Amino acid sequence: MILLRMMQHRLLRYAGITLGCLIASSSINLFLVPSHLLTGGATGIALIFYYLFGLPVGLQTLLYNVPLLLASWRLMGRKYTVDVVIGTAIFSFCLDLMRFLNAYAPVNDYMLAAIFGGVFNGIGYGLVFRMNGSTGGFDIVGAIVKKYWSLNMGAVIFSFNCVVMCIAAFLFGVAPAMFTLICMYVNSVVTDKVIAGLQSRKAVLIVSNHAQHIADAIMAEMQRGVTFLHGAGGYTHRQRDVIMAVVNITQVTKVKLIANCIDPGAFMIIISANEVMGKGFSHPDSDLRNLMKERLKQQDKATAEHNLPQG
């Protein structure tokens, strides 16, 4: 049963990666290519040679990733590389598969192409990353540099993308490069939103002398659990309970109303919580949970063997 569930999860994961690659590749062919804009990574380099010589973007992307994948296999290990190979192959195939969309450009304005290209690229890449996948390119370089030199992965990828933009500005002019930067910024913002989850939550902290009454009202009126954190005033050193509750963004107003009605002097802090895991919310990746369960079993077995009496 566990193996069947893991297989189902893996199939769903690869289906999600494929869908993300289809969305991202369609966006590139529909918005970026007709406007002669670029994107980051190996695909950006492939687009430069496509504009100059008409070489297939997907095939180029796959070829440029081969030496990076070999380096990844040697330096990052088999498990990491296999997932990257699958994502890279799917993305490269989709880039050439959706090439016919070049003829159906919906916008003729550089700014609109940059914005909508960035949005749909972000949705596609976000789905891929949310499924723990990768489309290769400079992500591999960033991962290797982070592992061996402890440099910031985002900064390394951004540096390589800046080099690509400088080459593009020299070949095609400053304007396309600037619109490409807008596209890349929108892409990164939307990607982060998709990875974090569109259903953003709010963590509410309430400091009040009537903490129990407020907590009871939140649980009764909103069917949300609360947690008491024990705190003390820095000046008075008076012990008091701090209420912590995680709610949907639409429920924040109701929490504020409850706290204000019971204790108008209550001190509240509302914090954005991009992803919440646990009962009533999302759960971590099932493969990882199964791996951790297996690891705990092995640790318990090793501990039991170590505690056996020596004969």
240-298 pLDDT tens trace: 889 999 988 778 889 999 999 999 999 999 998 766 666 666 555 544 455 555 556 66
Residues 208 and 192 in one domain: no
Residue numbers of the chain with a pLDDT score lower than 50: 286-288, 311
Q: Which domain holds residue 252?
A: 201-273
Domain count, the chain: 2
Q: What is the pLDDT of residue 299?
A: 64
CA angle centred on 193, ends 145 and 254, rounded to 5°: 140
CA torsion angle for 281, 285, 287, 290 (degrees, to 10)? -40
Q: What is the pLDDT of residue 232?
A: 87
* Residue 240, SS3 per DSSP: strand
Residues 55 and 107 in one domain: yes
Q: Which two tokens stand for residue 43?
A: 């695909």
Complete DSSP assignment for 47-101: HHHHHHH---HHHHHHHHHHHHHHHHHHHT-HHHHHHHHHHHHHHHHHHHHGGGG
Q: How many other CB atoms are there within 10 angstroms of residue 63's CB atom?
A: 14
Residues 185 and 206 in one domain: no
- Sequence-separated (6 or more) residues with CB below 8 Å from residue 11: none
Residues 161 and 54 in one domain: yes
Residues 148 and 6 in one domain: yes
> Are residues 47 and 57 in contact, defined by beta-carbon separation less than 8 angstroms?
yes
> Are residues 98 and 88 in contact, defined by beta-carbon separation less than 8 angstroms?
no
CA nearest to 124, candidates 241, 245, 20, 14: 20
Q: What is the pLDDT of residue 192?
A: 80
pLDDT 10s digits, 106-131: 998 999 999 999 999 999 998 998 88
Residues 111 and 210 in one domain: no
Indicate the residue among 128, 162, 196 that finishes a domain.
196
In order of 39, 54, 194, the CA distances from 165 in angstroms are: 9, 19, 25
Q: What is the pLDDT of residue 162?
A: 86
Residues 145 and 224 in one domain: no
Where do runs of H (alpha helix) occur along the chain? 2-27, 41-53, 57-75, 78-97, 110-130, 138-149, 153-172, 174-196, 211-222, 252-262, 286-306
Q: How far apart are the first and last CA of the chain?
A: 40
